[in-house]
Amino acid sequence: MMSSDPTRLLCAFLLALCSLGPTYGGTTTWDGKYDTSKIKVTVVYFVPADRQPLSDWKDRVQYYARRLEQFHAREFGDQSKLTMVVHPEPFVSKENTETLREGDANKIYFRTLGEVDRTLAFAKDDPSDRDAFPILLVLSEINWRPLDDFYRLHPDGGKLVFEGNLNQGQHFPGAASGGARAAYLANRGVGWGLVSGDGWRVPYRGTDCVVYHEGCGHTVGLPHPEPGNGSVMSMGQYRGWISESWLDKEQKSRMGWQPKKEGAEKGEPNQDSDGNHDEQPKSLAMELFTRFRAIPQPMVPKPNQDVLLKLDWPKDAKVKTLRVRYQTAIDGPWIEVPSEIDSAQPEVVSLGRFEEATPVSYRVDAELQSGETAELWGYLQVRSDVNQNPLPSSLSQDLLEATPAADPS
């Protein structure tokens, strides 16, 4: 017969609670006003009326969507779920490029987001009726000012001048002509993010950081951490891919996130002793996301020089297949590069040779024998002289309209 002793009943109840393991409250926006345990990001590819969409726009946008979902899952575990929903068609603006660019970078931000928000009737329901925090993220075909973001050139005094972040031969996003912006609109309970062409169209190392920074960070109220560091809300985009970055634990804690184990070290993801970032149970799939890299060798190849990609893997990975592709024009085809796997963890893979100085975007898809997959996009420039950027044989529409007299030679 069960005892009716209140003390015993209380002990049994507490023991049952403990056996369920720790419980965690939902995360919130930076100000604590809205629940972010579920976040829904509507991603829209925005094209001015006088421009043509990229033929492979959906591949590019979906790549970033997957990267951001993986990063968010690694950083928050099951305490906040990010869902990226790609708008099925390019959003063709009623305005042309010239009209959109009138005024400063803030004007193009509000003009662009306002048009998309109105047309889609975005998040017009009452915040209390929503099952996820809504974010509108626009990836624009253009920049605030004229810029060929594939060649990284802008017009200056009738000449084409390099504009971008270049550090020891590596290309990172960041151009004054860009104009990325984001805001958390607390009065409506939504986030608005704009990533200009320079922040996503060309896969410089770190572009995925830009998309998360603007699209999923500032849009829930996250500020830049002080002092600055290599996190995704600080200088992450100038250091590497988002898989090499992190969100500060202090910022996550402010949002209601709770670490799942005591004594977790603060630091970069690649420095954690167990590699699971304390938030996500260790898995080979997450380790593959975190550790996989494909770095050009040499960093700045010359014409007709063999170009390799140095590959980094998690220690338990056994590679089944590799697929390597590149393109030498942003509107050009992706060229398949035959690749052979000579070991469980190939150290390098060939990207081929290039006869002339040219920008090169590349993408690598990997599958492990155990079924896990990874993908990574990157960018390099083949240069005849390490200090001289490649020049286009013909001007892009952006540069042609902005500077008809510019001389690419």
Q: Per-domain residue ranges for the chain?
A: 24-144+179-260+275-282, 293-402
How many residues are there in the chain? 409
Question: What confidence category does residue 402 fall into, taking pLDDT thresholds of 50, 70 and 90?
Answer: confident
**Looking at residue 157, what is its pLDDT?**
87
Separation CA 265–CA 259 (nearest Å): 11
Comparing C-alpha atoms, which of 74, 123, 135 is closest to residue 282? 74
Angle (CA) 76-78-80 rounded to 5° is: 55
Query: With 80 as the cut, is the pLDDT of residue 342 above it?
Result: yes
- Count of alpha carbons within 13 angstroms of residue 377, beta-carbon side: 23
pLDDT tens per residue across span 196-208: 999 999 999 999 9
What is the sign of the dihedral through the CA atoms of 234, 40, 362 and 373? positive
DSSP line for 201-269: TS--TTHHHHHHIIIIIGGGT----SS--SSTTTTGGGTS-GGG----HHHHHHTT---SSTTPPPS-G
Separation CA 62–CA 68 (nearest Å): 10
Among the residue ranges 233-237, 258-262, 269-273, 384-388, the one predicted with the least confidence is 269-273
Query: With 80 as the cut, is the pLDDT of residue 11 above it?
Result: no
Query: With 70 as the cut, is the pLDDT of residue 268 above it?
Result: no
The DSSP code for 26 is P
Both tokens of 67, joined, read: 């990267």
Q: Are strands 335-337 and 133-140 parallel, antiparallel or unpaired?
A: unpaired
Question: What confidence category does residue 18 fall into, taking pLDDT thresholds of 50, 70 and 90?
Answer: very low
Both tokens of 71, joined, read: 């990063």
Cis amide leading into 298 (omega within 30): yes
Query: With 90 as the cut, is the pLDDT of residue 406 above it?
Result: no
Query: Is the model more confident about 23 or about 242?
Result: 242
**Looking at residue 260, what is its pLDDT?**
80
| 293-402 CATH | 2.60.40.10
Query: With 60 as the cut, is the pLDDT of residue 272 above it?
Result: no
The number of helix segments (H) and strand segments (E) in the chain equals 8, 17
- Mean pLDDT for 9-34 is 63
CB 50 within 8 A of CB 97: yes
pLDDT tens per residue across span 139-190: 999 999 999 999 999 999 889 999 999 999 999 999 999 999 999 999 999 9
Question: What confidence category does residue 374 fall into, taking pLDDT thresholds of 50, 70 and 90?
Answer: very high
Residue showing tokens 């690419």: 408
Type of residue numbered 85: V
Q: What are phi and psi of 192, to 5 degrees?
A: -120, 125
Separation CA 308–CA 362 (nearest Å): 11
Architecture of domain 24-144+179-260+275-282: 3-Layer(aba) Sandwich (3.40)
Among the residue ranges 98-107, 115-124, 260-269, 347-356, the one predicted with the least confidence is 260-269
- Mean pLDDT for 254-258 is 97
| Residue partners of 374: CB distance under 8 A and separation at least 6 | 288, 289, 292, 365, 366
| Max CA distance (Å), the chain | 96
**Looking at residue 404, what is its pLDDT?**
54
Separation CA 33–CA 41 (nearest Å): 18
**Looking at residue 231, what is its pLDDT?**
98
- Mean pLDDT for 53-63 is 98
Chain centroid to CA 240: how far? 11
Number of other CB atoms surrounding residue 263 within 10 Å: 6
Residue showing tokens 């986030």: 191
Query: With 50 as the cut, is the pLDDT of residue 22 above it?
Result: no
**Looking at residue 55, what is its pLDDT?**
97
Query: With 90 as the cut, is the pLDDT of residue 290 above it?
Result: yes
The DSSP code for 78 is G
| Residue partners of 95: CB distance under 8 A and separation at least 6 | 48, 49, 111, 115
**Looking at residue 25, what is its pLDDT?**
63
CB 108 within 8 A of CB 146: no
- DSSP H or E segment with residue 13: helix 6-19
DSSP line for 371-384: S-EEEEEEEEEE-S
**Looking at residue 273, what is its pLDDT?**
34
Question: What confidence category does residue 354 fall into, taking pLDDT thresholds of 50, 70 and 90?
Answer: very high
CB 389 within 8 A of CB 153: yes
**Looking at residue 9, what is its pLDDT?**
43
CB 194 within 8 A of CB 112: yes
- Mean pLDDT for 52-75 is 98
CB 140 within 8 A of CB 192: no
Q: Is 351 helix (H, G, I), strand (E, B) or coil?
A: strand
pLDDT tens per residue across span 303-313: 999 999 999 99
Among the residue ranges 92-101, 113-122, 254-263, the one predicted with the least confidence is 254-263
